Homo-oligomer: A and B are copies of this chain.
Amino acid sequence: MTTPARPAPTIIDVARAAGVSKSLVSLAIRGDAGVSDATRTRILEVADELGYHSNALARGLARGRTQMVGLLVSDLANPYFADVVHGIEEDADATGLGTIIGHGRGSAEVLARRLDEILDLGVDGVIVISAMLDGGTLDRAAARRPVVMVGRPFAPPRRVSVVRNHDEHGAEAAVSHLISLGHRRIAHLASSRRAAATARRDSFERTMRAAGLAPHVIDAGDDGVARLLDRVGAPDGPTACFAGNDRIATAVLSDALDRGLGVPTDLSVVGYDNAEAGRLVRPALTTVEQPREAMGREAMRLLRARIDGDREVAEITLEPRLVVRGSTGPAA
């Protein structure tokens, strides 16, 4: 029916209606001391009646600060992001900062574009929850505003603070758990070539060798799950599998059950991430949990410090923990 035709009331309309100058309205609305209580109350009432909303564009332009931070995520569907964002927003809410989210839809190119758009919008800082962006892109962003990354870059760009989990410790915990259950032929399904995946893989190999066992690594892409399952039950086949993330681990679980293999009787399975799906499947998934909300909170702390003028670039590594459920059991 109606379009938002009527132009939005401005500070001038409020000033006129309240019979004061526009600077006074500005002060009153921002809660500045030095405006009498009576006047402030009256001005706020008038503003409310008129349906006045402060124009954030004009405010940001005049102040050079928007009190907004941008959150860049590469993939909304991945629940990992939801938890990190939760941690970030808890801190942001408590410190009076607004958050807007930009979404890369799984593409580094789209993500970089969103990053630019959000910087153009004048946010006071940015948290990139993704390891997708290359160093150059991150560094160019960091030249404009403070940038914190949650995740694990290959080489931390000079001007970007990083919050990540200790992938080596997480992988070690997963593999040690399997070894302590008596498994000796353990395969690793590597998730990707990114830094976190590489660290988990390296740690898998080190932990196996330290126990005097031969590490066996399979690339998860290109039918890796099928190739793994083909060998289960063979004389020298694996009795356990450490998957690079929960998505792969749940695929192993589903496909194993579809083949009539028992989990954990024929194959023990460990994932990484503690995704929600791992709690729903049966047997429920043993996995490594990153402290996602804590990572978000730390990232926001670092960003606030940078926004407030701290020049220090930091790197924070948080400890993951093993969550044991039904998908792992004693070796046959």
Contacts and interface: CB of A to CB of B under 8 A. Distances in A.
Interface of A: 1-4, 8, 51, 53-58, 60-61, 66, 68, 75-77, 79, 81-83, 85-86, 89, 93, 98-103, 105, 110, 114, 116-122, 142-146, 158-159, 250-251, 253-254, 257-258, 276-277, 280-282, 284, 306, 309, 311, 313
Nearest to A76: B82
A147 B148 CA distance: 33
A77 B61 CA distance: 34
A55 B66 CA distance: 13
Contact of A77 (B79, B311, B313): B79
A55 B120 contact: yes
A53 B254 contact: no
A53 B258 contact: no
B254 A280 contact: yes
Contact of A4 (B54, B142, B277): B142
A116 B144 CA distance: 27
A153 to B, nearest CB: 16
B120 A103 contact: no
Contact of A53 (B119, B250, B281): B119
Contact of A120 (B51, B53, B251, B281): B53
Contact of A311 (B1, B56, B102): B1
Given A8-B144, A85-B76, A103-B89, A116 B53 contact: yes
B77 A122 contact: no
Contacts of A75: 82
A12 B181 CA distance: 69
A122 B61 contact: no
Contacts of A81: 76
Contact of A61 (B3, B55, B76, B143): B55
B277 A280 contact: yes
Closest 3 CB pairs of A and B: A77-B82, A101-B101, A76-B82
Contacts of A76: 76, 81-82, 85-86, 101
Contacts of A143: 2, 4, 51
Contacts of A110: 93
Contacts of A54: 120
Contacts of A121: 56-57, 68, 100, 121
B1 A313 contact: yes
22 contacts: A4-B146, A55-B61, A56-B120, A68-B117, A68-B121, A76-B85, A76-B86, A76-B101, A86-B105, A89-B103, A99-B102, A100-B100, A100-B101, A100-B117, A250-B280, A253-B282, A254-B280, A254-B281, A254-B282, A257-B282, A258-B282, A282-B282
A284 to B, nearest CB: 8
Contacts of A98: 114, 117
A105 B124 CA distance: 22
A145 B105 contact: no
A61 B56 CA distance: 9
B122 A4 contact: no
